[in-house]
Amino acid sequence: MSGADPYAWRPGTVASTTPLSGTGRSIAIAVPGLRAARAGQHVDLRLTADDGYQAVRSYSLSDVRGTHGDPLAAELEISVEQLPDGEVSPYLVEAAEPGDPVEVRGPIGGWFVWPPTEFDPDSAVHAVLPEPAGAPAPTRSPVQLIGGGSGVAPLVAMIRSRSERDDAPPMRLICSVRTPDDQWFAPELDELAAAAGPDLTVDWVFTRGAPEGAARPAGRLTRERLLELALPAEQHPLVYVCGTNGFVETIAGWLVDAGHDPTRVRTERFGGA
């Protein structure tokens, strides 16, 4: 099954759902025959209405661990935020139930993944995107994760994958959300951080309403706050940024201006309905 065509549609079934917030939900989907997925990849979902109308949307994977065993028992997880004018997200967040059929294509993507792809030193990739001088190999580099809102989903997949590895490098997550009600996966992330000690840290930035007793008032993530929380450029971290177009462009620009090598700042943007 490892050589299965990632672009072929496969029948899947909703296995379970878990609420994340008033507008967010995780959905586990059983997809027999799915090849092993990597944290940071995405899948396409195709839904077919009773009248034959079809809609296709792409969603980042928030958990890939269920794809690493028996391919016939493969199960992936996506996490979806409902959009007010959405066509697919309202169904997935409000109506999808275990047993509902879906079609899945993927997993797709090889750049915005962790552990990172190892390229041959003589490959064209290294010729175009050389590693910074003095930096450790990508698989041994510390990892900085930066998410905006629901952009935390693929970053959580990376943290979950890290928990399965004995040789994982340190990770740091910064997530910008509106209010405490928008903190997806917060209890699990707290548990994982407590178990990992200083090798995994999680920082939340609240833009509209901070929790009671918070050390800082609510406010947008600023350049100064980002650089205060993020791993410094001299450590040559591998950085993953996921969020809206504006969020990603702003954060990536601040990091590069602060000395982070552009070849080590990997970005993923989301949108759609």
> Tell me, what's the pLDDT at 130?
78
- Is residue 216 a contact partner of residue 224, using CB atoms and an 8 Å limit? no
pLDDT at 127 over 80: no
Written as one letter, the residue type at 94 is E
Residue with tokens 């878990």: 18
The pLDDT assigned to 2 comes to: 45
> For residue range 144-181, what is the model confidence (pLDDT) as tens digits?
999 999 999 999 999 999 999 988 999 999 999 999 99
Work out the average pLDDT over 250-260: 98
Token pair for 155? 């970053």
Q: Average pLDDT of 245-265?
A: 97
Buried b (16+ CB within 10 A) or exposed e, 23-34: bbbbbbbbbeeb
Give the pLDDT score at 215.
85
The pLDDT confidence band at residue 121, using thresholds 50, 70 and 90, is low
Per-residue model confidence (pLDDT) at position 272 = 45
CA atoms within 13 A on the CB side of 160: 22
**C-alpha–C-alpha distance, residues 251 and 79, integer Å:** 23
Yes or no: say if 270 and 155 are a contact pair by the CB < 8 Å rule: no
Q: What is the DSSP annotation of 157-216?
A: HHHHHHTT-SSPPPEEEEEEESSGGG-TTHHHHHHHHHHHGGGEEEEEEESS-PPTT-SS
Distance between CA atoms of 179 and 233, rounded to whole angstroms?
Answer: 29
Q: In the predicted model, what is the mean pLDDT of residues 120-141?
A: 78
Lowest mean pLDDT among 48-57, 66-75, 117-126, 261-270: 117-126
Give the residues across from 58 on adjacent strands: 44
Q: What is the mean pLDDT of the chain?
A: 93
Q: In this predicted structure, what is the pLDDT of residue 185?
A: 98
| Residue 242 three-state SS | strand
Total H helices, total E strands in the chain: 6, 11
**Cα–Cα dist 170/20, whole Å:** 26
Q: Confirm if 239 and 144 have CB atoms less than 8 A apart.
A: yes
Q: What is the mean pLDDT of residues 235-257?
A: 97
Give the residue from 197, 199, 175 showing the smallest Cα distance to 186: 175
Residue 113: pLDDT over 80: yes
Instruction: Report, as an integer, the average pLDDT of 190-214.
Output: 95
Report, as an integer, the average pLDDT of 43-68.
96
